[in-house]
Structure 1
Amino acid sequence: MGRSKVEKNTATVLKDAESVLSRPVGRDFSMQGALPDQAPYGLVHSELRRAADRALTAGERGRALENAAAYAFSAVPGCEVRGRRTIDPWQSAEIDLLVGNRKREDGLFYLPEIILVECKSSVHPVPVPDVRDFAFKVKHRDLKLGILIVAAGATGARDRRSAAHHTAAIAAALGTRILLVTTRELMAISTAGEFVELLHEKYFQLAASGTFGADG
């Protein structure tokens, strides 16, 4: 492929990506079919690097992490990001991402049809109040699964079920399951299939251990 054609294709990918991320909150902005197969994870990794850039403001880092999560989920067969930064009618809670899952055999087959996603770009482990608040958001909407995407893990230890891990265990016992995914884990994968495998493995670990699946 000639250089000019490569540059043209790259420009097209970036233009499509910018269009996807600028669509209004609450609208379907799935990238299914909008980007070449190899494009989403280059974009995921690019946004993850921005999320770790301390030269940016906390708001900019948080937005970058949300972008990375949106790219990752939209690349999964059968998944669509159906809402972003959605605020409830009482102005009391915001949802970073609302993901629809058609449960395709080559997608997130074992996970529920609707998934809430919250992103935390803080350099500090996610504390108990943040996990408790997120679990409440999931429970309040009568949903079964929430996914926390974080930069620095969670407080406490899974084997002792302490701190945030204990909070996640209580939530699971009450029917609200929370998965914990780290930015380091996302940086280590390069395809939608690997992302699906990661989430399925964490879902099974949660069922077996009663709290967060092992965080990387």
Structure 2
Amino acid sequence: MLVWAPGPGTRMVSSAVLGGGIGERGWVLNAQVPPGYGRLDPVAHLRALAADAGLDGPGVGLMTAAPVAERCHAADDGAEAVVTAGIGVRGWAAVPDDGALAAPRRPGTINILVSLPVPLTDAALVNAVATATEAKTQALVELGADASGTPTDAVCVACPSPRADDGREPEAFAGPRSLWGARLARAVHRAAREACAAALARPDGDGRTDRVPVYG
């Protein structure tokens, strides 16, 4: 598993099963689980892994079946992104309502962690998630992956908590044409493109051309 622990004074927004939403978070854990992971208590599992790693207090827990040792990192003028990717189960977000939505879910396969050095408003944090997702999709399309992502991708964006004594207002925007949104997008795009290209080239099934009808 990968662990990043910036400690107190960090706000995060995440779609993760553990520590999702917006709030103060002290750490992020990205745990690799076996393909076909069947546990029905992922939150308890992630909390146990965090405790084993010496992490306490609120944090964010992600899961993936991709090899986390093959993480990819990119930076752009202060914005940093780390991406782990396995894209054997991938497709477009909008699919026909053909009963596939009832299929079992699998662990998230493209996990994106972003760190920005400036505080963001709640709205800008949500905007940053959208920008990171757009950049990921751009990378997939450029690689010819014919997909917008995988069914259970997860995103986490971290930034400093606002401080009343520094006189700095939180950034109000993080769209792709804002200063920090543009930097975030470039960092995520580079890391996601490298990670997804490696996944497509792996012989373990992530580069296969068949599709498993799992949506969620």
**TM-score (ref. length: structure 1):** 0.30
**TM-score (ref. length: structure 2):** 0.30
Q: Which has the higher contact order (CA 8 A, sep 6+)?
A: 2
Give the structure with the higher percent strand. Answer: 2
